[in-house]
A and B are shown apart, each in its own frame.
Chain A
Amino acid sequence: MLGRVEKKYGVVVVGGGPAGLGAALGARDYGEDKVLILDREPEAGGILLQCIHSGFGLHYFKEELTGPEYAQRFIEKVIDHDVDILPASYVSRIAADSDGIKKVRIINEKRGILTVEAQAVVLAMGCRERTRGAVRIPGTRPSGILTAGLAQKFVNLMGYLPGKKIAILGSGDIGLIMARRLSLEGCEVVGVFELMPYSNGLSRNVVQCLNDFNIPLHLSNTVAAIHGRDRVEKITVAPVGKDLKPDLARAWDVPCDTLLISIGLIPENELTQNLGISLDVATGGPRVSSTLETSMPGVFACGNVLHVHDLVDFVTNESLLAGRFAAELSRGVRRPGDNIQLLPGENVRYCVPHTLNPGHKHTVYLRCKAPMKPCKIRVGNLIEKKLRFVFPAEMIMLKLKPDLLDKFHGDSLRIDILPLAKEERND
């Protein structure tokens, strides 16, 4: 039921996006009957509510849904399963007392400040966007500079346009999707500028969001300065060399009234840090065990707060598990700790989870540092898997069989992505 809240729960989930919804369902499916979802927004659904394009659910529902449809299917399930949802509730602090009970402090517009108790907490706060400050673009500070995701919220939920003549920095999927969205709404999108020599978005989005609308994509270019007193008037764009530094001698000006910034996402981990939980510098999220438990017992993490996902289906799979493990803990099941460290090796930027345990099946998510094709993934010297390609923007999912680690006696396992030798290529 919406808005119901009690004093004590088995599992409290912070964040009501796809990760939080999945975790709540995972916990309920395991048999935990007291589950609460908290979200600071007026309704659950997370970022999906503003992602009105289709492309969600191909793996999980085997059909292509829009973000709001994917969200609603889960919200309905969660309500059917008698999970309590408390929207408009900002979680300001989590603390653990000496016997491991978690106290979650909530600020709710109508009810004021309240605290609920939980045996286990699942962190599912999602991520936020990197801003102008993260790349330190020189120039003035006029209005008209905003992140692409915020512009998406303005256009798709609140019904106002951020400007008329739009430039976009960064060619990740959010930037590309906003280029199309604003073109459909009658704005002129003057160009997308990308630092790297390749687009960070799916080729499908480059074709359908840029090419279809004749929007130029300038690879190996960046915004070197912003001009305008009250409102953005123009930007200076400069090509970059191998060192990724702008070559100002070849710079040119692009008139526009709005600059959208789409240069990556950072897991939202203030709460996590306040708990003293250890973070992974590469993901920006907490380090977790094979049960998605953080360094603080009884606190689990999943979704974009753990590492930035590009497919919501993977978020759902991961969070169903996180919810299940949280429910196990709240019902008193104790598993032996992990004894194998998983380490990123050659061309691997990160891998999650950070530790493994023999005798269980595991799903490992990883990202490469640089594109490579064709190639192979090697897990220690236990298995090898050939891949047609890897791209930094595409997360890789690797399933490990329960018996894989049975004969492994080391205490750390390295994952490498390596080019295929010539004789390995033809099959």
Chain B
Amino acid sequence: MTEAKQYTCIGCPIGCPLHLEHDGNTIKEVSGYECDRGAKYAHQEFIDPRRSLSTTVAISGAMWPRLPIRTCKPIHKDQVLEAVRKIQALKLQAPVKMGQVLIRDFMGEKGIDVVACRTMKRADESS
């Protein structure tokens, strides 16, 4: 049985409304896009939608009480909320360096690390 899904392309500000028809896991047809990027995006969203995740974690002894962090690659869209909850459990201590890996192979996915987005010195070090 053919079913349909609607997406909005994020490729550019036009935001084409995309219409994807599928039968189970098989894509039948994509329409509504004005350029190839739209078709590609609809495929990606249907097969394996992913989002980059950035948030903050508590850090003590630094200039600010929060450290910005992100996953180095996008994670499964459905796992975003669970991922944030896992990350929230982290409690860090300054100093931390930009790019420092805080969690390796996050959410059981090889090669997806949680990294620090900036350096935070200890508050008494940074003049």
Q: Mark the stretch among B8-16, B19-27, B106-114 that contacts chain A.
A: B8-16
Interface residues on A, range: 35 or more
| 6 residue pairs A–B, Cβ–Cβ below 8 Å | A52-B117, A69-B118, A71-B118, A158-B64, A159-B66, A203-B12
Whether, in the assembled complex, B84 has its beta carbon less than 8 Å from a beta carbon of chain A, the answer is yes
Residue from A3, A49, A208 in contact with B51 in the complex, judged by beta carbons closer than 8 Å:
A208
Kindly report which residue of chain B lies nearest to residue A204, judged by CB atoms. B10
Known: A72-B118, A204-B10. A2 touches B127 (CB 8 A): yes
Known: A3-B127, A52-B56, A159-B58. A202 touches B13 (CB 8 A): yes
Whether, in the assembled complex, B77 has its beta carbon less than 8 Å from a beta carbon of chain A, the answer is yes
In angstroms, Cα B16 to Cα A170, docked, is: 22
Residue from B13, B56, B80 in contact with A394 in the complex, judged by beta carbons closer than 8 Å:
B13
Whether, in the assembled complex, B98 has its beta carbon less than 8 Å from a beta carbon of chain A, the answer is yes
Where the two chains meet, the residues of A that have a C-beta atom closer than 8 Å to any C-beta of B are 2-3, 42-43, 49, 52-54, 64, 66-69, 71-72, 155-159, 181, 184-185, 202-204, 206-208, 211-212, 373, 388-389, 391, 393-394
Is B65 in contact with A206, judged by CB distance below 8 angstroms?
A: no
Query: What 20 new A-B contacts, CB under 8 Å, besides A64-B52, A66-B70, A69-B118?
Result: A2-B126, A49-B118, A52-B54, A52-B55, A52-B68, A52-B117, A68-B68, A72-B98, A72-B118, A157-B64, A159-B65, A159-B66, A185-B55, A206-B8, A207-B7, A208-B51, A212-B77, A212-B80, A373-B14, A393-B13
- Mark each residue of chain B from 9 to 45: 1 if its CB lies under 8 Å from any CB of chain A, else 0: 1101111000000000000000000000000000000
A149 to chain B, nearest CB (A): 16
Kindly report which residue of chain A lies nearest to residue B10, judged by CB atoms. A204
In angstroms, Cα B15 to Cα A391, docked, is: 12
**Chain B residues closer than 8 Å to A69, beta-carbon distance:** 98, 117-118
**Chain B residues closer than 8 Å to A181, beta-carbon distance:** 55
Is A203 in contact with B9, judged by CB distance below 8 angstroms?
A: yes
Is B52 in contact with A54, judged by CB distance below 8 angstroms?
A: yes
**Chain A residues closer than 8 Å to B65, beta-carbon distance:** 158-159
In angstroms, Cα B51 to Cα A208, docked, is: 8
Kindly report which residue of chain A lies nearest to residue B13, judged by CB atoms. A391
**Chain B residues closer than 8 Å to A72, beta-carbon distance:** 98, 118-119
CB-CB nearest 5 A-B residue pairs: A203-B15, A204-B10, A52-B68, A68-B118, A159-B65
Is B66 in contact with A157, judged by CB distance below 8 angstroms?
A: yes
In angstroms, Cα B55 to Cα A72, docked, is: 17
Between A42, A68, A185, A202, the greatest number of chain B beta carbons within 10 A of the residue's beta carbon is seen for: A68
A385 to chain B, nearest CB (A): 17
**Chain A residues closer than 8 Å to B52, beta-carbon distance:** 54, 64
Kindly report which residue of chain A lies nearest to residue B123, judged by CB atoms. A42
